[in-house]
Chain A
Amino acid sequence: GNSVTQMEGPVTLSEEAFLTINCTYTATGYPSLFWYVQYPGEGLQLLLKATKADDKGSNKGFEATYRKETTSFHLEKGSVQVSDSAVYFCALSDRMNYGGSQGNLIFGKGTKLSVKP
């Protein structure tokens, strides 16, 4: 079945350091790929998404490119800030054949990022 594997944390960086959080996936067909972020005490928010191969999603200085050949969707940011401290989840879309419905996401286990001043 479909699955998502992301690097385990926690990841601790100094402010202005370069960030990479690795994410690889296993899927049949052509799923959409997502990064969600969860700030302390909050629910998940969409950070960025890509819907087809070679698409690049970007938001708030974060980027991720949908690489079909390596089945990857690594999250990067050139210069992290203390305010980026959060848990980051990689996810892919899944097809649920319940009455023709579609739309669930398969999530990785999350990577906790801590940025120190």
Chain B
Amino acid sequence: DVKVTQSSRYLVKRTGEKVFLECVQDMDHENMFWYRQDPGLGLRLIYFSYDVKMKEKGDIPEGYSVSREKKERFSLILESASTNQTSMYLCASSILISGNTIYFGEGSWLTVV
């Protein structure tokens, strides 16, 4: 089975802190994604990566950056956390073919106080 593992399920951070959300997949997938999920807004794509060191902005990249130094690992970085970044963050991966299934991690609940 494909496994996408997010390092932290629940985090509480202070405004202005730098926050790292880590994600690892074990299926040698080329694509990796970071989404944000909010009530009434569904899932919104923050960033994605299709190869090591490659990254592309999604729909809501402002306030976020990403890092992909190894194929299996994709990190989401909040340079200076703000309260409006309180949300559920979902990491996902897929192979490099359109129409293929995307596999999700269990999510990371981030609260910024």
Nearest Cβ on chain A to B35's Cβ, whole angstroms: 8
CB of B101 within 8 A of CB of A34, answer yes
A106 to B24, CA, bound (A): 22
Choose from A31, A93, A101, A108 the contact partner of B30 (Cβ within 8 Å): A101
CB of B104 within 8 A of CB of A45, answer yes
Chain B's closest residue to A108 (CB) is B42
What is the number of residues of chain A that contact chain B, defined by CB distance less than 8 Å?
A: 27
- Scoring A31, A36, A104 by chain B CB atoms within 10 A of each residue's CB, the highest score goes to A104
Nearest Cβ on chain A to B58's Cβ, whole angstroms: 8
CB of A104 within 8 A of CB of B30, answer no
User: Among residues 74 to 112 in chain A, which have CB atoms less than 8 Å away from a CB atom of chain B?
Assistant: 89, 93-96, 98-99, 101-105, 107-110
Whether B54 sits at the interface, judged by CB under 8 Å, is yes
By a CB distance below 8 angstroms, the chain B residues around A42 are 106-107
User: Among residues 83 to 110 in chain B, which have CB atoms less than 8 Å away from a CB atom of chain A?
Assistant: 90, 92, 94-107
Q: Which 5 A-B pairs have the closest CB atoms?
A: A101-B50, A102-B98, A32-B99, A109-B42, A43-B104
